[in-house]
């Protein structure tokens, strides 16, 4: 049986992964063609982001039909072939269920708009506070009001994301039954895992004005969320012990995550939380430029690692996904220490307690895209905020600088397979521009190079399988206030693992308080390690993983 604690998940964003038919968009057959690559990396699961019928206003997170595959991505036969071929290679598929909202093109929403009361109750319609004033002052995550006025009803519907993504009313039992049916349908197709999109937002609390923020405190980790997840678990995937599930938790709390992902809570296997990826924000404000706060990054990771373990709950551990900028551009140093810093960052996550997720291209050290003109951007959130920033009085140049750092398109440029035309992603014109650096950051070259980031990631994935201490061990932060080093210790049945990572381009000496000579180094990003007694001399972005068995 697959043990999710020993597993690694590889995330595929199909649109940008591999285009098998030359139309410029990646597709399901493209994933099938690249399965050997994913197997060679050692991944146990592939999480595929949504490929259901969708107008693609949010690249598929606006679902029009949960039972059908968008022809842009292929057919049901293509999906079945992908599942079969993955299975042959020991890889399981994990699908992305977007259940907080549907596209406004979904049949349910269309019926609601025709005035069918039963379907209106699938969504959240409310009267305005006064003529022209929405029910609450909540803001959409993509900018602007979270309410859209519908003239024929003189009511507004709620959309926490784009105006074409209407929030579902989970308090309606019929909605929950329909969603269970969808889960069962895909289980029947041999899928072995699900990721649930922003699933901690499904239970809305009071519809009140937020005088302290954008409204999130009224619908985040809402009043019935645990009850609804338990119900979904029991009615669907909970019957299959091999299933793994991960919930994407927006602005959540530890206390809620003990329950979402607790060993005995029968909700989900694990959670994605994002606090560690807001250390280069100003509070919750993402559209600013501030250097990342290293101490805060450590504090957050340490707290989640230790407290989730204390409460026997499980984390998904990760740096990258399709919503985040590339980690090597974010916390590493692409100019001078690209390779060292990419390997170091991978080490931090892969030796932690939790199931690691690798986002396509991260294993190559892919960087932010370097776009300089708005015509290059595709993402709805980025396009909205480019306008909003300028409405707030920022210059165009400033708005570009902010986008270059925070835009979700940074991670959505095509996978870099080769150094050749369009990075080997497509024979046609890609839907979004390929990064220029594919001439030296690409899978073909890295597969041939033993010292590449790709080769290093393969070792990281294998370590978790070889060393129980990585999969099962306790977590203890070390030297918490060190200004440049992140270090921690894992322990399990007489085994000890020390993970020591220099986050900066300056040499530093780290004192461990333990005799390092008693350990052997099982992985590092420099050829040799300079340890003596209790000290490790660390070069720029150096990391080492030390192991001993008592």
Residues in contact with ligand GLC by CB under 6 A are 58, 61, 98, 161, 197-198, 248, 322-323
**Which single residue brings its beta carbon nearest to ligand GLC?**
61
197 in catalytic set: yes
Nearest approach in angstroms of CB 539 to ligand GLC is 36
Q: Between 13 and 79, whose beta carbon lies closer to ligand GLC? A: 13
Report the DSSP pairing between strands 155-158 and 125-126. Answer: antiparallel
Nearest approach in angstroms of CB 300 to ligand GLC is 19
- The secondary structure of the chain in percent helix, strand, coil, rounded to multiples of 5, reads 35, 20, 45
From residue 324, how far is each of 219, 405, 409 by CA, in Å?
Answer: 23, 10, 8
Nearest approach in angstroms of CB 423 to ligand GLC is 23
d(CA 191, CA 80): 10
Q: Which two tokens stand for residue 485?
A: 């080093």
Catalytic residue among 70, 148, 197, 446: 197
Nearest approach in angstroms of CB 407 to ligand GLC is 12
Q: Between 93 and 98, whose beta carbon lies closer to ligand GLC? A: 98
Nearest approach in angstroms of CB 36 to ligand GLC is 27
Strand order in the sheet with 508-511: 508-511, 535-538, 530-532
Which region holds residue 63: left if phi is over 0, alpha if psi is between -120 and 50, else beta? beta
Q: Could you tell me how far CA 391 lies from the centroid of its own chain?
A: 30
Q: Sign of torsion, CA 321 298 401 367?
A: negative
Q: Between 197 and 267, whose beta carbon lies closer to ligand GLC? A: 197
Q: Between 58 and 340, whose beta carbon lies closer to ligand GLC? A: 58
Nearest approach in angstroms of CB 78 to ligand GLC is 23
Catalytic residue among 248, 280, 409, 542: 248
Classify 532 as helix, strand or coil. Answer: strand
Give bridge partners of residue 133 from the DSSP assignment: 130
d(CA 321, CA 272): 11
d(CA 426, CA 477): 45
36 in catalytic set: no
Q: Between 60 and 540, whose beta carbon lies closer to ligand GLC? A: 60
d(CA 45, CA 244): 10
- Cα three-residue angle 370-375-377, rounded to 5 degrees: 55
Q: Between 168 and 486, whose beta carbon lies closer to ligand GLC? A: 168
Catalytic residue set:
197, 248
């Amino acid at each position: 049986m697959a043990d999710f604690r020993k597993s690694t998940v590889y995330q595929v964003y199909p649109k940008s992964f591999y285009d098998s038919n030359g139309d410029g968009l990646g597709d399901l057959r493209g994933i099938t063609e690249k399965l050997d690559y994913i197997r060679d990396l050692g991944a146990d699961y592939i999480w595929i982001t949504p490929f259901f019928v969708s107008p693609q206003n949010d690249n598929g997170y606006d679902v029009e039909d949960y039972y059908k595959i968008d022809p842009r991505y292929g057919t049901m036969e293509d999906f079945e072939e992908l599942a079969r071929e993955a299975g042959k290679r020991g890889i399981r598929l994990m699908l992305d269920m977007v259940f907080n909202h549907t596209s406004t093109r979904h049949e349910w929403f269309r019926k609601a708009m025709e005035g069918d009361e039963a379907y209106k109750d699938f969504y959240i319609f409310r009267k305005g506070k006064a003529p022209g004033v929405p029910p609450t002052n909540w803001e959409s995550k993509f900018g602007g009001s979270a309410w859209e006025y519908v003239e024929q009803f003189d009511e507004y519907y709620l959309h926490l994301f784009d105006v074409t993504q209407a929030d579902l009313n989970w308090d309606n039992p019929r909605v929950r039954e329909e969603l269970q049916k969808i889960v069962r349908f895909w289980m029947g197709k041999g899928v072995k895992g699900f990721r649930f999109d922003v699933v901690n937002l499904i239970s809305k609390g009071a519809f009140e004005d937020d005088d302290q923020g954008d409204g999130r405190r009224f619908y985040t980790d809402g009043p019935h969320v645990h009850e609804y997840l338990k119900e979904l678990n029991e009615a669907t995937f909970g019957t299959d012990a091999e299933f793994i599930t991960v919930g994407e938790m927006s602005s959540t709390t530890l206390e809620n995550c003990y329950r979402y992902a607790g060993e005995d809570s029968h909700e989900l296997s694990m959670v994605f939380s994002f606090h560690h990826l807001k250390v280069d924000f100003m509070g919750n404000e993402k559209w600013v430029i501030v250097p990342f706060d290293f101490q805060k990054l450590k504090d957050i990771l340490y707290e989640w690692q230790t407290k989730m373990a204390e409460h026997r709950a499980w984390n998904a551990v990760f740096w990258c996904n399709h919503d985040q900028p590339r980690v090597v551009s974010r916390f590493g140093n692409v100019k001078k220490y690209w390779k060292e810093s990419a390997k170091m960052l991978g080490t931090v996550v892969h030796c932690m307690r939790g199931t690691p997720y690798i986002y396509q291209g991260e294993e190559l050290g892919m960087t932010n895209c370097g776009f300089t003109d708005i015509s290059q951007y595709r993402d709805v959130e980025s396009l909205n905020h480019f306008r909003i920033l300028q409405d707030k009085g920022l210059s165009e140049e400033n708005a570009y600088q902010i986008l270059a750092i925070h835009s979700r398109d940074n991670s959505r440029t095509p996978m870099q397979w080769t150094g050749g035309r369009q990075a080997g992603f497509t024979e046609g014109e890609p839907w979004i521009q390929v990064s220029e650096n594919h001439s030296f950051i690409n899978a073909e070259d890295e597969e041939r190079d033993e010292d590449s980031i790709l080769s290093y990631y393969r070792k990281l994935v294998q370590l978790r399988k070889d060393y129980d201490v990585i999969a099962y061990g306790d977590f203890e932060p070390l030297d918490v206030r060190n200004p440049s080093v992140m270090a921690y210790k894992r322990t399990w049945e007489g085994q000890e693992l020390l993970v020591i990572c220099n986050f900066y381009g300056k040499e530093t000496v780290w004192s461990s308080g333990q005799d390092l000579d008693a350990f052997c180094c099982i992985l590092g990003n420099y050829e040799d390690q300079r340890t003596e007694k209790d000290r490790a001399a660390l070069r720029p972005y150096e990391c080492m993983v030390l192991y001993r068995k008592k």
